[in-house]
């Protein structure tokens, strides 16, 4: 049955990793598009999309920078498109929501609480950077707060409500689950909700199996049967935590947004390589992978014919 299958989400390119960190990170609009298509062909039912400024490849949430990517994805794959509203910690909610409001996707991410979101230790790993914005951007995360207040969450919910968008509620710690429950009680979100447990980000909960079990038990207590869940883990925890989640009945997210590596010390050559690996792990352990249409059924999505791109 479809409900027993594992949905793979692929996060193609994100706001933490920068051009210098990997030659395989997709940067141009064509590279991001092609990487997303290859991930879908490898088995990703959902494509989580960020974009970049084509002038210097810094993270961008400008709708015009999404347009050339989304138009090709619509024509080339049946995968569900999930547009970020997380953007980057330096961005305000109004600009972060603009692309989802413009293109009315089936899904978009939504961060469920403010937090320290540090990736400044990455700056120490490189002697030089390809672009002058990279080092200060990375180092600046030490002083940044990733703002996602209750007012911000309400703003995103109300602006996107007319678009019938399904939120991927990104929860970086247990308190974010309680934030979501509060927002549901206030009428901002209707069950069943889709949770993305996020592990291993500096400032959030660690990538440990004990923490996964704790987050799952807390979600059970708060939401009962009215939720679906997935796991992403940053860095080295990506594959072990995803494989564990799949065995526990959850769904999984991989992609170069979350980790640049395919194994310890070896850079992933593509997003598709990570999708192939987690698919192999799931299927070897007896699981089955959901198709995009099965994911739509499980998550009660509006359908690809109702998007605005």
Taking only the tens of pLDDT, the chain with its 309 residues reads: 677 899 999 999 999 999 999 999 999 999 999 999 999 999 999 999 999 999 999 999 999 999 999 999 999 999 999 999 999 999 999 999 999 999 999 999 999 999 999 999 999 999 999 999 999 999 999 999 999 999 999 999 999 999 999 999 999 999 999 999 999 999 999 999 999 999 999 999 999 999 999 999 999 999 999 999 999 999 999 999 999 999 999 999 999 999 999 999 999 999 999 999 999 999 999 999 999 999 999 999 999 999 999
Distance CA 171, CA 185 (A): 17
In a domain, 307, yes or no: no
Q: Which two tokens stand for residue 91?
A: 């961005």
- Give the rounded distance of the alpha carbon of 187 from its chain centre: 24
- For residues 229, 233, 234, 237, the Cα torsion angle rounded to the nearest 10 degrees is -170
In a domain, 98, yes or no: yes
Distance CA 200, CA 194 (A): 20
Distance CA 58, CA 37 (A): 22
In a domain, 309, yes or no: no
Query: Measured on CA atoms in the order 205, 298, 79, 38, is the torsion positive or negative?
Result: positive
Tally the domains of the chain: 1
In a domain, 102, yes or no: yes
Q: Which two tokens stand for residue 137?
A: 């951007």
In a domain, 129, yes or no: yes
In a domain, 308, yes or no: no
Could you list the residue range(s) of the whole structural domain that residue 142 is in?
2-302
Question: Which residue in 121, 22, 37, 111 sits closest to 74, CA to CA?
Answer: 37
């Amino acid at each position: 049955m479809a409900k027993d299958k594992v949905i793979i989400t692929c996060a193609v390119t994100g706001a933490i990793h920068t051009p210098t960190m990997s030659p395989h990170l997709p940067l141009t609009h064509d590279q991001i598009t092609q990487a997303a298509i290859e991930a879908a062909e490898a088995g990703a039912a959902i494509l989580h999309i960020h974009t970049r400024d084509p002038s210097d490849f810094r993270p961008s949430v400008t709708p015009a920078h999404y347009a050339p990517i989304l138009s090709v994805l619509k024509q080339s794959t049946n995968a569900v498109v999930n547009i970020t509203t997380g953007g980057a910690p330096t961005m305000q909610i109004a600009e972060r929501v603009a692309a989802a409001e413009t293109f009315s996707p089936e899904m978009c991410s939504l961060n469920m609480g403010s937090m320290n979101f540090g990736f400044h230790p990455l700056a120490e790993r490189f002697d030089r950077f390809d672009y002058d914005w990279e080092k200060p951007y990375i180092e600046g995360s030490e002083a940044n707060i990733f703002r996602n207040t209750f007012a911000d969450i309400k703003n995103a919910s109300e602006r996107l409500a007319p678009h019938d968008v399904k939120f991927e509620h990104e929860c970086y710690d247990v308190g974010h689950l309680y934030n979501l429950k509060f927002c549901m009680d206030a009428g901002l979100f209707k069950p069943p909700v889709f949770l993305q447990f996020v592990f291993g980000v500096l400032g959030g909960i660690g990538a440990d199996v004990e923490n996964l079990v704790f987050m799952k038990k807390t979600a059970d207590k708060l939401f009962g049967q009215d939720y679906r869940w997935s796991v992403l883990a940053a860095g080295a925890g990506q594959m072990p935590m995803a494989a564990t989640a799949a065995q526990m009945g959850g769904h999984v997210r991989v992609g170069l947004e979350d980790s640049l590596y395919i194994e310890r010390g070896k850079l992933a050559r593509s997003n598709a390589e990570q999708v192939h690996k987690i698919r192999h792990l799931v299927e070897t352990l007896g699981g089955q992978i959901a198709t995009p249409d099965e994911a739509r059924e499980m998550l009660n999505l509006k359908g690809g014919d109702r998007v605005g791109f």
